[in-house]
A and B are shown apart, each in its own frame.
Chain A
Amino acid sequence: MPSTIELKQETEVKVESIPAHVPIVKIDKLNVYSKGTHILKDVSTVIPKNKITVLLGPSGCGKTTLLKCLNRLTDLYPDLKINGSIKIDGEDIFDAGRDITTIRQKMGLLLQRPYPLPMSIYDNIAYGLKLKGIRKKKIVNAKVEKHLKEVALWDEVKDRLKTSAQRLSIGQQQRLCLARGLAVEPEIILADEPSSALDPISSKVIDEEFLRLKSDYTIILVTHSLRQAKRLGDNIIFMYYGEIVESGPAEQVFENPQSKILQEYLRVGH
Chain B
Amino acid sequence: MTVRRKYEENFFRFLSFLFTAIIVFALVQIIWTIAKKGVPSLSWQIISQEPKGGYYFGKDGGILNAIAGSFYLAVSATVLAFIISLPVALFMNIYLIRYQRLLIGIRFFLDVLWGVPSIVYGAFSFTLLMYLGYKNSLGAGTITVAAMITPIMIRAMDEVVKTIPIGLQEASLALGSTKTETAYKVFFREALPGFATAILLAFGRGIGDAASVLFTAGYTDYIPHSFSEPTATLPLAIFFQLSSPIEEVQNRAYAAAVILTLIVLVLSVSARLLKPRK
Is B175 interfacial (CB-CB < 8 Å)?
yes
A 101-144 to B, binary, CB cutoff 8 A, 1 in contact else 0: 11011011101010101110000000110011000000000000
Residues of A near B168 (CB, < 8 A) are: 115, 117-118
Main secondary structure of the interface of A (DSSP, over half): mixed
A247 at the interface (CB under 8 A from B): no
Given contacts A78-B98, A127-B185, contact A109 B172 (CB under 8 A): no
Partner-binding segment picked from B17-25, B106-114, B176-184, B242-250: B176-184
* Contacting residue for A119 out of B98, B174, B178, B189, CB 8 A: B189
Please tell me the number of chain A residues within 8 Å of chain B, measured between CB atoms: 28
Is the Cβ of B189 less than 8 Å from the Cβ of A76? no
Q: Is there a chain A Cβ closer than 8 Å to B190's Cβ?
A: yes
Find out whether the CB atom of B173 lies under 8 angstroms from the CB atom of A104: yes
Which chain A positions have C-beta within 8 A of B172?
A: 117
In angstroms, how far is the closest chain B Cβ from the Cβ of A234?
Answer: 23
Which chain B residues lie closer than 8 Å to A77 at the CB level? 98
Q: Which residues of B contact A113 (CB under 8 A)?
A: 167
Q: How far is the CA of A131 from the CA of B169 in the complex (A)?
A: 16
Cβ of B97 under 8 Å from chain A: yes
Whether A177 contacts B176 in the complex (CB less than 8 A), given A76-B97, A118-B186, A127-B185, comes out as no
Bin the interface of chain B by size: 20 to 34
Cα(A74)–Cα(B91), bound, Å: 19
A181 to B172, CA, bound (A): 10
Interface string of A187-221 (1 = CB under 8 A from B): 00010000000000000000000000000000000
In the bound complex, CA of A131 to CA of B172 (Å): 11
- A88 part of interface (Cβ distance < 8 Å): no
Q: Within the assembled complex, what's the spacing in Å between the Cα atoms of A21 and B173?
A: 29
Contact present for A108 and B174 (CB under 8 Å): yes
By a CB distance below 8 angstroms, the chain A residues around B189 are 117-119
Distance in Å: Cβ of B101 to nearest Cβ of chain A:
10
Contacts of B190 in A (CB 8 A): 118
The reply to whether B170 and A73 form a contact with Cβ atoms under 8 Å apart is: yes
CA–CA, A107 and B176, complex, Å: 9
Closest to A131 in B: B176
**How near does chain B come to A116, taking the closest CB pair, in angstroms?**
8
- Chain A residues within 8 Å of B181, by CB: 131
Pairs across A and B, CB under 8 Å, 23 listed? A71-B174, A73-B173, A73-B174, A76-B98, A76-B166, A78-B99, A101-B173, A101-B176, A104-B173, A107-B174, A109-B171, A111-B170, A113-B167, A115-B165, A115-B168, A117-B171, A117-B172, A117-B189, A118-B186, A118-B189, A132-B176, A181-B174, A181-B175
